């Protein structure tokens, strides 16, 4: 007995044995998975997934994904969402994320083939966060939440099956990190004493928005003792401005995820989000004399403020303070998280998540 399956990347169906193991073995052998078992994408499951954006036509072209230049129609995206284990209501989030990484400023063609250990971090804001139960609190970067796990995984499967980013063949990421399986979070807006990320970026508070940034794995910035913002910033700056991360050589849009406890201390002292960014823009630096002969010193951007004839001139992590992304997420405790990026070759992009027309 066979079952008809929708192909993950081509406009065709496959007849395979009606066996979960046989289907998974076949998909794995073709390079259509991330190494984990997939949900078999039957025509019925794909049709059900498409119901998550019933106002759209299944053959609508959403994006063209490099380097294979695969045509990401809604049907193909939905197929990969089925494989990832998504619910239909997650489909608009995956579509918005795919649109975001397809913007030129994200630099997807290079991100798909680079040796840098980056992965697309999906940050979700707005009403859909609670509607879809996307985790923003304890364990925000970890396992246990279906929405986070499957939305991030669906983006990865689309990048592999439509963009051709097969590890070791096209994707030459030297070490990679677990975020290349899935890397999806939401902002803890109720714990954020300032405006949330999407409002800061010009969207309405009642809009749901995806921001995608190509990030390394989160690095802990632990400060369980100091409560003064200046001292907290000293800890952050020491964690952030290291000679081993790409941002000191080519800047970009790195991400600081404040834990709620740190946000409370900083806000209580009267600081704004801009104060945080301005302080770290000045404080998180390394001298040009250390930067110039190592790492990515010949990267795409060295800010004009750096005097390259002066070894004591200080090199910032970002070209300007507003390039630092600051948001609030996580559980109780004094640990914030720092997510470096690949630098100025890949910038963050925000996209509104489509909802059904009125």
Q: For residue 334, what pLDDT is reported?
A: 97
**pLDDT (0 to 100) of residue 121:** 98
Would you call 62 helix, strand, or coil by DSSP? strand
Residue pLDDT, tens place only, 175-223: 999 999 999 999 999 999 999 999 999 999 999 999 999 999 999 999 9
Q: Please, where are the H alpha helices in the chain?
A: 20-29, 43-50, 74-84, 91-101, 108-111, 128-132, 146-161, 197-200, 229-240, 247-250, 260-268, 273-283, 288-291
**DSSP 3-state of 35:** coil
- Tell me the sheet residues that pair with 209: 125, 352
Alpha-carbon gap, residue 352 to 341, rounded angstroms:
22
pLDDT digits (tens, 9 = 90+) for 28-78: 999 999 999 999 999 999 999 999 999 999 999 999 999 999 999 999 999
The DSSP symbol for 297 reads T
Bond before 67 cis per omega within 30 degrees? yes
Dist CA 315 CA 241 (whole Å)? 9
**Residue ranges of the chain whose pLDDT lies below 50:** 1
Q: Which two tokens stand for residue 323?
A: 């390039």
How far is residue 88's CA from residue 52's CA, in Å, rounded to a whole number? 4
Non-local CB neighbours of 47 within 8 Å, separated by 6+ positions: none
**Residue 204: what pLDDT?**
98
Chain-centroid distance, C-alpha 344: 15
Can you tell me the distance from the alpha carbon of 133 to that of 141, in angstroms, rounded to the nearest whole number?
Answer: 14
Residue 351 pLDDT: 98
* Domain coordinates in residue numbering, the chain: 1-215+345-358, 217-340
- Structure pTM? 0.96
Q: In terms of DSSP bridges, do strands 61-65 and 70-73 run parallel, antiparallel, or are they unpaired?
A: antiparallel
Distance in angstroms (rounded) separating the CA atoms of residues 259 and 276:
14
Residue 214 · residue 184 · CB < 8 Å? no
């Amino acid at each position: 007995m066979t079952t008809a399956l929708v192909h993950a990347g081509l406009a065709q169906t496959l007849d395979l044995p009606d066996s979960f193991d046989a289907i998974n073995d076949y998909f794995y052998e073709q390079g259509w998975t991330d190494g984990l078992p997939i949900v078999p994408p039957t025509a019925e499951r794909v049709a059900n997934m498409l119901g998550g954006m019933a106002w759209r036509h299944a053959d609508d072209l959403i994006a063209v994904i490099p380097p294979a230049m695969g045509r990401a129609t809604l049907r193909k995206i939905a197929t990969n969402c089925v494989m990832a284990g998504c619910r239909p209501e997650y489909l608009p989030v995956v579509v918005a994320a795919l649109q975001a990484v397809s913007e030129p400023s994200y630099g997807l063609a290079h991100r798909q083939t680079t040796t840098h250990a980056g992965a697309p971090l999906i940050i979700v804001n707005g009403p859909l966060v609670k509607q879809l139960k996307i985790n923003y609190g304890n364990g925000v970067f970890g396992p246990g939440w279906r929405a986070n796990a499957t939305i991030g995984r669906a983006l990865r499967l689309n990048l592999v099956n439509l963009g051709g980013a097969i590890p070791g063949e096209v994707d030459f990421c030297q070490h990679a990190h677990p975020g290349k399986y899935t890397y999806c979070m939401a902002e803890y807006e109720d714990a954020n004493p300032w405006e949330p990320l999407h409002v800061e970026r010009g969207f309405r508070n009642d809009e749901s928005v995806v921001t995608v940034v190509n990030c390394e794995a989160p690095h802990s910035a632990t400060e369980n003792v100091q409560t003064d913002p200046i001292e907290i910033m000293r800890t952050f700056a020491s964690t952030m401005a290291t000679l081993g991360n790409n941002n000191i050589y080519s800047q970009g849009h790195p991400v600081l995820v404040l834990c709620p406890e740190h946000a409370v201390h900083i806000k209580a002292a009267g600081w704004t989000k801009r104060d945080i960014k301005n302080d770290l823009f000045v404080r998180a630096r390394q001298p040009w004399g250390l930067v110039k002969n190592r790492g990515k010193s010949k990267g795409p951007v060295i800010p004009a403020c750096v005097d390259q004839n002066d070894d004591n001139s200080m090199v910032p992590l970002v070209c300007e303070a507003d390039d630092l992304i600051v948001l609030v997420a996580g559980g109780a405790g004094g640990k914030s998280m720092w997510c470096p990026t690949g630098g100025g070759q890949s910038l963050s992009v925000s996209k509104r998540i489509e909802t059904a027309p009125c």
